[in-house]
A and B are shown apart, each in its own frame.
Chain A
């Protein structure tokens, strides 16, 4: 149990300085430096007592200092000074090794029995392959050492010449080689890691700018696509009144011609009467005018003119309103917050969607008394337009779209429900993800709901979905009436894409990482 605890503690210490989402290469290096410092700690700490026992206080103090340094390294890592810790790790062992070589003066003497302890540290942890080889070498040397020392005739711990030679080599050459190799490893590791870091940073930056560019292009494309769809629908809505406006104006010009000719006849008659022309002259003129009046159906023309003008005025107003609505949708960026009534927004969005030739449904309006509140009208219109578009497309046969608005004193809730095909349960979590679409290629980019989500979030609201396959779907948008922080429209759009960029960045990182 205790061992397990110790192992867990060691494992924890090894993870000091590791931050979630760090470059994996850096993480590897941090863990390795922690492991190495723990190893060196376990190598340097036991000899402290030995030297104290042997009354070599200066050596013990040096070893103790070393041990303290090695203990500190994981904490330095934990504090985030990764470079400092690595620097210390390279410097301290080298310094101390030089010190020991000097102090010992190549005379290993009684150190021999401490030596096998060194391999314990290697065995304690799970190491990478090369460390196993290293520890294997150390164990082999230890075993060899014991074998040689046992061959001593006295049977005491006195050393044979060859044992002393091995100790000499291990204590002077091996540590130095170890330090040198670790130094080289760190330098090399640092170099390659930095290079790969720089490289991945560069590739990230270029990918990011590429994404930004793509994002603006996509937004533009999405806008153009919805504008195209809008234009097709609106063209129909405008062409209808334009049909009778154009025809009526033509007819009106005929009417005016008729009126002019009749009026000219009357003027001629009036002139002849005024200048006292004899009856023989004026009477035929009147007869001619009467004939003209009868032929041109003046009574009808006069009666109909009023009606014609009224109808034409109605048509012109309709066209004007459509164009005004269209402008609200086409330029959502160039607007300022204003007082908006959601019922009106829904009507406006409905007008736009309704012109789609594929619409096969009826609409039920269940509007409650909701207060106006401050927000971006064009953006809300876009949210409702996107929801309505989805509702309309969900309905394959005839169906009903229900628009409901509610107010609970704080939040305005707008729900758009349809009796369409519904959404498969596995697709519901992906609904607001940019580029998620179930429509065939070329029929939408899957940005509608993600853009709607971004806009609603920016207005401090939320958007929910309930759906049952084959029964229908209901999207509810909740918006706060008390205006929260409403940010600039351009940010709203980029917000909607942040998630996607984040996702792609992650995938790039996992690709560049070894």
Chain B
């Protein structure tokens, strides 16, 4: 199964957009299987550059990243995502047992949730769902402000 990198735009209404980044295609396809029946618009990519490019162009509610990738460390990648899109919630899926493995200078506090590999399917789903809910709540909070300004 080839990771779905160029996912079609929002299908119905405004489904929550999520992107998974991992240099391991098998992990992406297993996650794809897992979220097959979830009501999210999920993109999968093995490329950090592509992910950053898309984060700049589209709005993602949640970005889930691998920790160790050949192009860029996962925590650094998530930091960059935070710069581009401050509202996006960040989740790190790490193969390391401890977080001391994070490179110096990277801001681990930015990451909303850490999940370790091998992950528990139910837990992963739960974490994604709650992140999506949180994102929706934040969006709700922002909306009245905008409407207040415009109206």
- B134 — which chain A residues lie within 8 A by C-beta? none
Please give, as numbers and ranges, the residues of chain A lying within 8 Å of B119 by CB-CB distance: 243, 246-247
Chain B residues near A240 (CB-CB < 8 A): 24, 27, 95, 117
Q: Closest B-chain residue to A318, C-beta based?
A: B26
Of A237, A242, A248, A314, the contact of B33 (CB 8 Å cutoff): A248
Number of A-B contacts (CB under 8 A): 75
Task: Determine whether A257 belongs to the interface, using a CB cutoff of 8 Å to chain B.
Answer: no
- Report if A244 contacts B (CB, 8 A): yes
B33, A241: Cβ atoms closer than 8 Å = no
Q: Which residues of A contact B67 (CB under 8 A)?
A: 357
Q: Are B96 and A248 in contact (CB under 8 A)?
A: no
Partner of A235, one of B1, B30, B95: B95
B146 CB within 8 Å of chain A? no
B87-99, CB under 8 A of A: which get 1 and which 0?
Answer: 0000001011110
Known contacts: A236-B96, A357-B101. The answer to whether A311 contacts B117 by CB under 8 A is: no
Q: Which residues of B contact A244 (CB under 8 A)?
A: 24, 26-27, 29-30
Is the pair B30, A251 in contact by a Cβ cutoff of 8 Å? yes
Residue A205 lies at the interface, judged by CB distance under 8 Å to chain B: no
Q: How many residues of A contact B (CB 8 A)?
A: 26
Chain A, range 310-343, C-beta contacts under 8 Å to B: 311, 314-315
Contacting residues, chain B, for A239 (C-beta < 8 A): 95-96, 116-118
Interface SS, A side: helix
Residues of A close to B24: CB separation below 8 A? 240, 244
Tell whether, in the assembled complex, residue A311 and residue B118 are in contact, meaning their CB atoms are under 8 Å apart. no
A183 at the interface (CB under 8 A from B): no
Task: Determine whether B54 belongs to the interface, using a CB cutoff of 8 Å to chain A.
Answer: no
Given the known inter-chain contacts A240-B95, A314-B26, please indicate yes or no for A245 contacting B118, CB distance below 8 A: yes
Is A96's beta carbon under 8 Å from chain B?
A: no
* Interface set, chain A 243-276, CB cutoff 8 A to B: 243-248, 250-251
Question: What residues on A are CB-neighbors of B108 within 8 Å?
Answer: none
* Inter-chain contact A247/B95, CB cutoff 8 Å: no
Complex alpha-carbon distance, A272 and B113, angstroms: 53
* A50 beta carbon closer than 8 Å to chain B: no
B121 at the interface (CB under 8 A from A): yes
- Give the residue of A237, A304, A315 whose beta carbon is less than 8 angstroms from that of B26: A315
Cα A315 to Cα B118 with chains together (Å):
12
Q: A232 near B: Cβ within 8 Å? A: yes
Q: A237 — which chain B residues lie within 8 A by C-beta? A: 95
A232/B117 contact (C-beta < 8 A), A247-B34, A311-B29 known: no
Known: A236-B68, A243-B30. A304 touches B118 (CB 8 A): no
Q: A243, B33: Cβ atoms under 8 Å?
A: no
Contact residue among B30, B31, B95, B121 (Cβ-Cβ distance under 8 Å from A236): B95
User: Can you spell out 20 A-B residue pairs with CB atoms less than 8 angstroms apart?
Assistant: A236-B95, A240-B27, A243-B27, A243-B30, A243-B95, A244-B24, A244-B29, A246-B118, A247-B31, A247-B121, A251-B30, A251-B33, A297-B36, A304-B1, A307-B29, A308-B30, A308-B33, A311-B26, A315-B26, A357-B101
Interface residues of A (CB under 8 A from B): 232, 235-237, 239-248, 250-251, 297, 300, 304, 307-308, 311, 314-315, 357-358
B interface, CB within 8 angstroms of A: 1, 24, 26-27, 29-31, 33-34, 36, 67-68, 93, 95-98, 101-103, 116-119, 121
